[in-house]
Every structure is written in structure tokens, then in C-alpha cells.
Amino acid sequence: MNTKILALGLLSLALGSSGCRNTGKHTSSQLQSIGLVVPKAARITIDRLPEILKNVQAGRTQLDFTGICGNGTDCIYFMQENGKFYIDFEAMSKEQLPYLDSLKQFAKEHGYPIVGTTYNNTPVDYDHLQYAPVLSLKVNTDIDSIVKVGKQIECTIFRNNDRTVYEIVP
């Protein structure tokens, strides 16, 4: 679990300047022009998520979790523990904070236990909390079911649809 927290912390730090929220001041081409290699994240629609999660489950990825992010505020992470998946959402920006309540309500309506936690990451643009809050929906289910839950969250809470293109993170 400590490795997972460290990995998510590093991921959040990296995303704070690029990636999901794309709040960095430099474009990929600007960074490449000064010699920094900036890998492009894979992009998928929600129908391709099961194959990504199968790779995670089979250990063919660096980490035992992955996430999707379409517009910078809708980043959800598919976490794996003992072969089962659950979903985490970290509110790194003040724009994401209201979604914590929406996700709590969603979890309550669907009977999913929730756990509030943190990865000890410093929020990007608010300071009333020392660390960015994380809401963990303990769905603990198989790939097909977690994809359905993720799709429900993306559609009902974040107003995305089947055509939304997501970056895979990390």
C-alpha cells in the first residue's frame, strides 16, 4: 500500500504541472525544444477501458492502478487490490472539490462504501486544506463491473459520454 501511495503522490505531482489538469505553463513542444522528452499519454474512449484494466490486472503495467482523465476535473483512478477494483478521486484543484460531495451521494445511492483519505499531495490552487482529499469508492469488483461504475460516474457526475476521449494516467 505504501508503494501505491508513493506512486499516486508522484503521479499527482507530475499531473500538477502537466497531464490531467494541464495547468503547466509550458507546452510539450516547448519542453521538447529544450531537450526534455515529454511522453504523450495514451488516449481512449470508455469502451477500451476493459483492455487497459486487464493489462493492469495481469501485471503488464508499471503500477497496479490506472486512471482516466478527459477534461482535467474528471480524473478517476481504478485501483486494484487482491484482484478486485475500486475507484479513487483526488481533488487537487478547487474546481474538483464540489465533486467530492457528488461522488459521496453517488456512492450512497448505489450502496458503495466510501473512505476519505489523502495521498499527502499539496493542492494546486487552494490552501484551506493542507493535503488534497481523496475519496475512495470501495466497489471491490471485477473489471466489467468497475468499468460500468466508472462509466456511470463519468456520465452522471462529470457529464461525459461514450465519445469522450480520455488520457490514460499514469
pLDDT digits (tens, 9 = 90+) for 123-135: 999 989 999 999 9
Question: What is the pLDDT confidence band of residue 98, given thresholds at 50, 70 and 90?
Answer: very high
Q: Give the residues across from 135 on adjacent strands.
A: 89, 116
Q: Is residue 1 pLDDT above 70, yes or no?
A: no
**Inside any domain, residue 119:** yes
We report the CATH number of the domain holding residue 155 as: 3.30.1460
Angle CA 100–102–106, to nearest 5 = 115
The boundaries of the domain holding residue 112 are: 43-169
Instruction: Tell me which residue has cell 459520454.
Output: 161
Whole-number Å distance between alpha carbons of 21 and 57: 26
**Inside any domain, residue 102:** yes
DSSP 8-state symbol, 127:
-
Question: What number of helices (H) and strands (E) belong to the chain?
Answer: 5, 7
pLDDT digits (tens, 9 = 90+) for 23-59: 333 344 444 444 555 456 799 999 999 999 999 999 9
**Inside any domain, residue 63:** yes
**Inside any domain, residue 33:** no
Question: What is the pLDDT confidence band of residue 120, given thresholds at 50, 70 and 90?
Answer: very high
End-to-end Cα, the chain, rounded Å: 17
Question: What is the pLDDT confidence band of residue 61, given thresholds at 50, 70 and 90?
Answer: confident
**Inside any domain, residue 5:** no
Instruction: Give pLDDT, residue 62.
Output: 87
Q: Percent of the chain scored above 70 by pLDDT? A: 76
Instruction: Give pLDDT, residue 14.
Output: 42
Q: Give the residues across from 117 on adjacent strands.
A: 134
**Inside any domain, residue 6:** no
The tally of domains found in the chain comes to: 1
**Inside any domain, residue 22:** no
**Inside any domain, residue 29:** no
The answer for residues whose C-beta is within 8 angstroms of residue 40's C-beta and 6 or more apart is 28
Residue 63 in contact with residue 7, Cβ under 8 Å?
A: yes
Question: What is the pLDDT confidence band of residue 19, given thresholds at 50, 70 and 90?
Answer: very low
159 is written with which cell numbers? 457529464
